[in-house]
Amino acid sequence: MSDSLPFHSFTAARAAEWRPGLTDSATPHGEIFASGREAVGAGLALALALDRARVAAPDPLADAYDGRSWLWVQDSTALRLTGRPYLPGLPQSLRHRLIHVAAQTPEDTLFALEEGLRCRELAFVIGEIAGNPKALDFTASRRLSLAAERHGVPLWLVHIDARRDLGSARMRWDARSTPSPPPRWNPEAPGAPSWRAELFRARNHPPGEWILRDDGDALVAAKIAAAQHPGPSHLGDLAATAGD
Amino acid sequence: MAIWLPRLAIDRWRLTEGLNKGEAADAAPLVLINETAHGPRITAANDAGLDAGARPGMMLADARTLCPSLAVAQADLGGDSAFLDRVALSAQRWGPWSAVDPPDGVIVDITGTAHLFGGEHGLLADARGSFTHRGLAARFAIAPTAGAAWALAHCGPEDAILQPDQDAIECLAGLPVAALRLDADTVLILRRLGLKRIGELKEIARDALVRRFRNRSVPETNPLIRMDQLLGRVPEPLLPVLAIDVPVVQRRLLEPILHRDLLDRVVADLADDMARLLEGRKLGVRRLELGMWKVDGDMVLRTLELTGPNRDAAHIAGLFGNKLDGIDAGFGIELFRLRAAWTEPLLMTQSDIEAAAETHGTSLSACLDRLTVRLGANAVRRPVPHASHIPERAQRWQEPSTPGTAAQGELAFHARPLKLLDRPEPIAVVYATPDGPPKLFRWRGEPHEVVRSEGPERIAPEWWRERSTTRLRDYYRIEDGAGRRYWIYRAGIAGDGRGGVPEWFLQGLFA
């Protein structure tokens, strides 16, 4: 019996569906695959980071304001394709705490990400890397995961215009824009940013697809029926075959 | 108290030669010369030289005609001023602070310290004994203001003391106007006006002098300002000398270094020494200078700036490791010197950072140090708001350690994109509407159909800093059929007389 207990708990955990506000005990290392023609990757990464921060501090009266800085690392291609962070457009609570790193090469980007993860005074780290550079192989990805878990600093790495290569992230998303809900006062105007996000690989959750939206107080998720959008087959998933 | 060293240069020459006054080389006429554009000029002469007719300021050739046997030595002006600095520091034994009065004087503030030496006379005697013992000719004076003390030291009687209750003008009336610390031109003007003594200045109505020197604001050229300073009517700030002890550690090597791994080890040793030195003084370093002297006489300097005060040897050595790439060792490096040019107090002791980093992470300043050293200072920055309506000017980038400035908050009804392109990209409008955003446009080779839009938000150019031909911008927030949200603008409006057909640009991407 004692042998089967970890197996049972594992399947039970795996069966738990992902939902906003659900934080694993482990520090997340998430990957988001997005197109370089839109700012979805960074937007979703920020929304997930904010979601995690809200869950971490449930008591609004607690006098524990999290004023730590956060790091945003971009490589030069990602910076050229999707632009630089714009202060007035950032979420209000994160605006003044941003430290931006414009790295030239993917190697420098990975160095900056790892340095950020090793720093105890950072709230979280967001990275943007364009394409599939040779430096970002499975070993590099594993290094980032281990650093994030050891030092407790969450990392969301946005892959721009990239193939789904091997990666050791605990959650791997694929995101794109979706038409936003019409605003109340001007239905002709674009509304709050919405994303169609597909969780195609997660360690503790079954895959699924949601329409996500940050309404200012919380991350709102609407599940898309699996029948309409069948999840991807895991036959071709190299990470699953590798046993991770 | 003012101290004047009238024979500073020649006394110093005699001290460096190790001579007593009036013996050996000092017995013969000798002058110190300085090379000028018109040939050597005399800066100082010894007693025998003065007797022979040589005067400071004279050309050497003229002096030679008076005294053919004149011996010559090179003047050392830099050495003199450094010596004067040391004299000023040592003069702090008579008062809490002292200031250098170039080229050959020292001012000491002796307020409240005279009784320690048995009154002002005792203090003067002590000072005289000290200078005589060092073989320096000096004149002293004590007065309530620096100007009065200077005047008495230069032109007054020996060891003059002006008490605060005495009338300064009355006591100083007999001194020449040069005692007011005026430059030569002004003294000449006063002489031509017939004013030779300080007392005569007082007899003239002040209005007349004010009018005569009305456009002279520098104290050296205006006798009235100098007069007021002498009487203590206007403040005269003096720059005190402070002894600054810069932490320096040095390694001299028996065998010059040629290889990089040895270089790293020496730098690590130096960082260890420096850390020990700084810890003893409770300091942390902000800027470090590593000088490396090569065998062939060349010198390489590497500087390092840290985000916060730090004295962790491993951290410093690691940061220098990145800076040492590409150093040409030549025939080898034989001397290393590490100098902490900028230090700040750092009380907290920090144990081994590398071991600590493994368990609970590095500090933010250490992280920023490592990032800046590898990626460059311009790569790691923080956005701060800037007062401007032009979107790309509304934020600026500064280094992350400095705190942001206070700024007016952005109006909440302005929706701004999450990201801004460094350079707005032109879009090709395929299907335009007369007033409003395009129905269909092409960006980076792909068509986008505008389904929903909001605008225009008109942002006028900043006419006070841009040319008059700059066009205004009409911004639209749009969403295309796939839900992608962009921030586009039209530069100008048709018929505004500032160019042809308005062009469209895409500037920002919403999340």
Q: How far apart are the first and last CA of chain A?
A: 25
Cα separation values, A241 from A19, A166, A238, B292, Å: 26, 10, 5, 55
Q: How many independent structural domains does chain A possess?
A: 1
Smallest Cα distance from B366 to chain A, Å = 8
**CATH code, domain carrying A65:** 3.40.50.300
- Residue written as token pair 């850390």: B275
The pLDDT of residue A230 is 44
In this prediction, residue A242 carries a pLDDT of 43
The pLDDT of residue A131 is: 92
User: What's the pLDDT score for residue B208?
Assistant: 86
Residues 6+ apart with CB under 8 A from B226: B147, B180, B181, B182, B219, B220
CB B44 within 8 A of CB B59: no
DSSP secondary-structure letter at A187? T
Residue B356: which region, alpha, beta or left (left: phi > 0; alpha: psi -120 to 50)? Answer: alpha
Residue at A59 is within a domain: yes
Indicate the CATH number of B248-374 among 3.30.450.20, 3.30.499.10, 3.30.1490.100, 3.40.720.10.
Answer: 3.30.1490.100
Q: In which order are the strands placed within the sheet that holds B2-4?
A: B97-101, B105-109, B2-4, B139-142, B160-161
pLDDT at A234: 43
Give residue B379's identity as a one-letter amino acid code.
Answer: A
Largest CA distance in chain A: 61
Q: How long is chain B?
A: 511
User: What's the full length of chain A, in residues?
Assistant: 244
CA closest to B372 among chain A residues: A101
Q: Do A100 and B383 touch (CB under 8 A)?
A: yes
HSE (side-chain half, CA atoms, 13 Å) at B102: 9
Q: Give the C-alpha separation, A145 to A203, whole Å.
A: 13
Residue A12 lies in a domain: no
A205 in any annotated domain:
no
**Looking at CA atoms only, how far is residue A71 from chain B in angstroms?**
10
Domain that holds residue A134: 21-195
pLDDT given at position A211: 93
Residue A84 within any structural domain of the chain: yes
Q: Which residues pair with A71 in a beta bridge?
A: A99, A125
Strands B395-398 and B419-431, bridge-based pairing: unpaired
Pick from B360, B419, B483: CB nearest A39: B419
What sign does the CA torsion over A202, A205, A209, A214 have?
negative
Which residues of B are less than 8 Å from A118 in CB distance? 357, 361-362, 367
Q: How many CB atoms lie within 10 A of CB B433?
A: 11
Phi-psi region of A175 (alpha: psi -120 to 50; beta: other; left: phi over 0): beta
Tell me B170's DSSP state.
Answer: H
Look at residue B387 in the predicted model and tell me its pLDDT: 85
C-alpha distance from A147 to closest chain B C-alpha (Å): 10
pLDDT given for residue B355 in this prediction: 58
| Residue in this structure with the two tokens 């008109």, named with its chain if needed | B458
Task: Classify residue B399 as left (phi > 0), alpha (psi -120 to 50) or beta.
Answer: beta
pLDDT for B448 equals 93
Residue of B392, B402, B439, B452 to mutate when probing chain A, most A C-beta within 10 A: B452
Q: Within a 13 Å sphere around the CA of B230, how many CA atoms are in the beta-carbon half?
A: 31
Residue A14 resides in a domain: no
Q: Using the predicted structure, report yes or no on whether residue A85 has a pLDDT greater than 90.
A: yes
CA distance B338 to chain A (A): 27
B54 versus A174: the higher-pLDDT residue is: A174
State yes or no: pLDDT of A139 exceeds 60. Answer: yes
Query: Residue B292 has what DSSP assignment?
Result: E
**What strands lie across the sheet with A29-34, from one edge to the other?**
A219-223, A208-214, A194-202, A171-177, A29-34, A155-160, A122-130, A69-74, A98-102, B380-385, B395-398
pLDDT digits (tens, 9 = 90+) for B284-307: 899 999 988 888 888 888 898 888
The distance from CA B19 to its chain's CA centroid, rounded to whole angstroms, is 39
Q: Residue A18 — very low, low, confident or very high, per pLDDT cuts 50/70/90?
A: confident
Question: How many percent of chain A have pLDDT more than 90?
Answer: 46
A211 CB near a chain B CB, below 8 Å?
no
| SS3 category, A157 | strand
Tokens of residue A81, six digits: 């394709």
Written as tens digits, the pLDDT of chain B (511 aa) is 899 988 888 888 888 888 777 777 778 888 888 888 888 898 888 888 888 888 888 888 888 888 888 888 888 888 888 888 888 888 888 888 889 888 888 999 888 888 888 888 999 999 999 888 888 889 999 998 888 899 999 888 888 888 888 888 888 888 888 888 888 889 998 889 888 888 888 888 888 888 888 888 888 888 888 888 888 888 888 887 777 778 889 888 888 888 888 889 999 999 999 988 888 888 889 999 998 888 888 888 889 888 888 888 888 998 888 888 888 888 888 889 999 988 888 876 555 555 555 566 778 888 899 999 889 889 999 999 888 889 999 889 998 887 766 666 666 777 899 999 999 999 999 888 877 889 999 999 999 999 999 988 999 999 899 888 899 999 999 999 999 999 999 998 888 888 888 899 999 999 8
**Residue spans in chain B of domains classed CATH 3.30.1490.100:** 248-374
Q: Do A96 and B484 touch (CB under 8 A)?
A: no
**Contact list, B444 vs chain A (CB under 8 Å):** 37
- Which chain A residues in 130-149 lie under 8 Å from chain B, judged by CB atoms? none
User: Between chains, do A190 and B420 touch, taking CB under 8 Å as contact?
Assistant: no
Mean local confidence (pLDDT), A172-188: 91
From B279's Cα to the closest Cα of chain A, the distance in A is 24
Q: What are phi and psi of A48, to 5 degrees?
A: -65, -40
Residue A191 lies in a domain: yes
Predicted local distance difference test score (pLDDT) of residue A113:
95
**Burial letters for A92-124: b for 16+ Cβ neighbours within 10 Å, e otherwise?**
eebbbbbbbbbbeebbbbbbbbbbbbbbbebbb
C-alpha span between B362 and A71 (Å, rounded): 14
Note whether residue A215 is domain-resident. no
Residue A38 touches chain B, beta carbons under 8 Å: yes
Any idea which residue has 């140090």 for tokens?
A: B369
pLDDT band at A59, cuts 50/70/90?
low
pLDDT above 70 covers what percent of chain A? 80
Residues of A in contact with B354 (CB under 8 A): none
Lowest mean pLDDT: which of A138-142, A157-161, B144-148? B144-148
pLDDT at A143 over 70: yes
Q: What per-residue confidence (pLDDT) applies to A12? A: 47
pLDDT band of residue A3 (cuts 50, 70, 90) is very low
Q: How do B105-109 and B97-101 pair as beta strands?
A: antiparallel
pLDDT at residue B11, as a whole number: 87
Buried b (16+ CB within 10 A) or exposed e, B373-402: bbbeeebbbbbbbeeeeebeebbebeebbe
Count of CB contacts below 8 A, A vs B?
A: 171
pLDDT at residue A239 is higher than 50: no
Q: What is the SS3 assignment for A170? A: coil
Q: Is A190 exposed, middle or buried (0-12, 13-18, 19+ CB in 10 A)?
A: buried
pLDDT in tens, B413-447: 778 999 999 999 999 998 888 778 899 999 999 99
- Taking CA atoms, B488 is separated from A25, A88, B167, B288, B475, in Å, by 42, 16, 79, 48, 6
With CA atoms as reference, the chain A residue closest to B421 would be A83
